[in-house]
Structure 1
């Protein structure tokens, strides 16, 4: 992907992601998946989460989509009913394909406050019932590049000439940019994709040079074009994620942690989960160690 942007995308909408309660005692700033923006094809949810023990996300199911967990601070322990477990620390990535069904827990694994991002990416109808799988990367293994005051961590896709090895069933880019004061970036985005920016730190200008600055915890939806331009005109570093994905253009029916294409499929999913069948068989006798430790 050449680093050329001929038709920059404008900002078409922006809003502040306000804190709300999720899980058991956890706080999230949800920007996609709330009343202002229920769905941004193919993205279902974007949460900036903050959690301290014993709060967390104890045993819960998923079906029909992928979750991308990217840690910003602290650590979270993950366990599922397939026997997979591990700890995701600051800078680490877990790309989980829930597929036909998974039950897992995500709980604090260190003292203090754990912070991170979790993005839910929808799966097309042909992939919703595939077997669960994981792609995990330690922080040191995530591809990085720096140029002219800009540093990027390539979670998925390509930027500044480097590519991520992560495989995305729904074509997706996920880039973590840090711009030093006075720097700017032009990043190509496939024209047919939807794309957004979420600001983590500092104040940034996006779309056009005359746009007003956008501060932390704001979601910025981008319009049509072949890329995005961003500037840091403040005296402090600017950090934001740029996420883009190819729209699926399929019906979406969501019931909490289940995302399918019809109400009939949702009804079947609820029945499968309640009866521990059709992908949820192992849920009948499984309980995470974290649930035992924290008394859930």
Structure 2
């Protein structure tokens, strides 16, 4: 469909195809059952819905060690836990509202495993992984990652004229007077003039809110992923639909008769050629060939962990370890 304010609207099952500076977003929703002694799915346990094992060979679902270069992964976890390990010697456990921002830069390997920690209850997992492009200069920078703990992510509490509330987690950019935590210095999102706004909105049933205009050259997307219906600029939208919206206009949102959740993405394009082959995103085919040759030769620093799909002990709490354990980061520090 196309209107003055809604350019396109498409149903989504898993992958959100986006535009510069975004590449795509994966929406993982897995209804894992109770965990077994090894933190994999308990055989025969009932589930509330389907789930994927992805590329696990150890019984724990997830993505064992794999390489990336030339872009960023922004992982927003709504429920469940993720164990992170990488070729920089960094590692950590995060989930339940935390955000991991990984700049793959000139090359990194990492593993993302989803341990099923509870043996008494289901272990639902819901996360978004945004693949976010880098400029040519940023593609040559060293890889790095940082955690944005749920407890520290800024929130905007908006109350409409009927007294209904919308909670906005400001993950990147700024909304009204609420600014996000600092993004990695080698990210396109770091510079305020690039207007990279990533918001997670939760509207109470019937609540309304207007998102302000951004620059006319930005790309802007709204993904309605939970609820029975919302109105976007007066147009009824069903659950799990992605819209590309006019960027230089205010957009009015209103929830239906249930709570509504929305992922909001907008930003100035980088405007450089994109050459993508699997997990490598560069500017030309020649650069891709060079990157694959470099990975075969160096393994992007190797893999310092015991095997390709490591996980922490069940009792491990959320934390991050940087620089081979030289720096530790905890949610309540």
- TM norm structure 2: 0.74
Structure-1 residue corresponding to 2:225 = 200
List gaps (5 residues or longer) in structure 2: 33-39, 41-59, 118-122, 160-164, 190-195, 313-333
Residues 71 and 292 (structure 1), Cα distance of their counterparts in 2 relative to 1, 3 Å cut: closer
CA distance in 2, matches of 1:69, 1:85: 15
Q: Give secondary structure in 2 for the equivalent of 1:41.
A: coil
Provide closer, same or farther for how the CA distance between residues 290 and 109 of structure 1 changes in structure 2, counting only shifts above 3 A.
farther
Q: Say whether 1:228 aligns with 2:213.
A: no
In structure 2, C-alpha distance between the alignment counterparts of 1:224 and 1:156, rounded to whole Å: 17
Larger proportion of strand: 1
Which of 154, 169, 186 is residue 143 of structure 1 equivalent to?
A: 154
Please list, as runs of the form range in 1=range in 2, the aligned pairs for 1:39-54 lying within 5 A after superposition.
Answer: 39-51=18-30, 52=32, 53=40, 54=60
Q: Aligned residue for 1:243?
A: 265
Q: What's the counterpart of residue 154 of structure 1?
A: 170
Q: Give the greater-gyration-radius structure (CA).
A: 2
Give CA-to-partner distance per residue, 1:38-71, whole Å, 9 cap, x none. x511111200113554221110000000100000
Q: How far has the Cα of 1:163 moved from its partner?
A: 0.5
Aligned twin of 1:110: 116
C-alpha distance in 1, partners of 2:226/2:258?
9
The answer to whether the Cα contact below 8 Å between 1:204 and 1:213 also exists between their aligned partners in 2 is yes
After superposition, the Cα gap between the structure-2 partners of 1:127 and 1:9, relative to the gap in structure 1 and judged at 3 Å, is farther
Alpha-carbon spacing, 1:288–1:159, altered in 2? closer, same or farther (3 Å)? farther
Partner Cα distance (2:306, 2:211) in 1: 41
TM-score, normalised with respect to structure 1 = 0.83
Q: Secondary structure of 1:113's match?
A: strand
RMSD over aligned CA atoms reads 2.1
Alignment gaps of 5+ in structure 1: 1-7, 19-28, 33-38
Deviations 1:87-138 (A, max 9, x none): 1111001111010011000001334232200001100111111011122111
Q: Distance in 2 between matches of 1:100 and 1:246?
A: 23
For residue 291 of structure 1, the aligned residue among 290, 295, 309 is 309
